[in-house]
Amino acid sequence: MQIGPEAIRAIVERPLNQSEIGGLLWGLDETEKVQLFFHMAEVVRRSSAIADIANRVSDSLSLDVLFPRLMDVVSSMLKADRSSLFLYDAETGELYSRVTQGDAMEEIRFPSNLGIAGSVFTTGEAEIITADAYSNVRFNQEIDRHTGYRTRNILCVPIRNKSGQVIGVTQVLNKHGGDFDAEDQRLLEGMTQQAAAALENARLFEKVERQQHEEATLLEVVSSIASEIRLGPLLAKILAAATQLLDSDRGTLFLHDPERAELFSHIADGIDSSEIRFPADSGIAGECFTSGRVINILDAYADARFNPEFDRRTGYRTSSMLCMPIVAKGARVIGVMEILNRRVGAFGPADERRLRAFCAEAAMAIQNAQLFEEISAERNYNESILRSMSNAVLTLDADGIVRKVNESAVRILRRGEGDLVGHPLGELFGGPNTWVARSLDKVRAAGKTDITVDTELFVDGAQAVSVDLTTVPLVSMKDESIGYMLMMEDITREKRLRSTMSRYMSKAVVDRLLESGEAVLGGIGREVSVLFSDIRGFTSISERLGPQGTVALLNEYFTDMVDIVFAHHGVLDKYMGDMIMAVFGSVLQNADDADNAVNVGNRMMAGLRLLNDRLVARGREPIRIGVGISTGDVVAGNIGSPKRLEYTVIGNRVNIAHRLEDANKFYGTSVLICNQTYVRMKDRSQVREIDLIRVRGMEMPVAIYEAIGHHTDESFPHREAAVAAFNEGLSRYRRREWQDAARCFREALAANPNDSPSQIYVERCDFFRKLPPDPDWDGVWTVQSRY
Q: What is the pLDDT of residues 694-704, one digit of tens each?
A: 876 667 888 99
Give the pLDDT score at 498. Answer: 60
Instruction: Give residue 787's pLDDT band: very low, low, confident or very high (50, 70, 90).
Output: very low
Neighbours of 517 (CB within 10 A): 8
Query: Which has more pLDDT, 201 or 708?
Result: 708
Residues contacting residue 571 through CB under 8 Å, at least 6 positions apart? 504, 505, 509, 565, 582, 583, 584, 586, 587
Q: How far apart are CA 252 and CA 265, in angstroms?
A: 7
Whole-angstrom Cα distance, residue 652 to residue 655?
A: 5
> From CA 593, how far away is CA 570, in angstroms rounded?
8
661, 672 Cβ separation under 8 angstroms: yes
pTM given for the model: 0.43
- pLDDT, tens digit, for every residue of 475-504? 887 888 889 988 888 777 766 666 655 555
Contact 80, 175 (CB under 8 A): yes
Between CA 146 and CA 115 the distance in angstroms is: 15
CB neighbours of residue 26 within 10 Å = 8
pLDDT band at 577 (very low <50, low <70, confident <90, very high): confident
Please report which confidence band the pLDDT of residue 716 belongs to, taking 50, 70 and 90 as the band edges: very high
Host H or E run for residue 603 = helix 593-617
Each residue of 527-536: pLDDT tens digit? 999 999 999 9
Report the pLDDT value the prediction gives residue 750, as an integer from 0 to 100. Answer: 94
Alpha-carbon span 123 to 132, nearest angstrom: 22
Q: Which of 127, 102, 122 is nearest to 110 (CA)?
A: 122
Structure confidence at residue 58 (pLDDT): 52
| pLDDT beyond 90 at 586 | no
Residue 365 has pLDDT above 90, yes or no: no
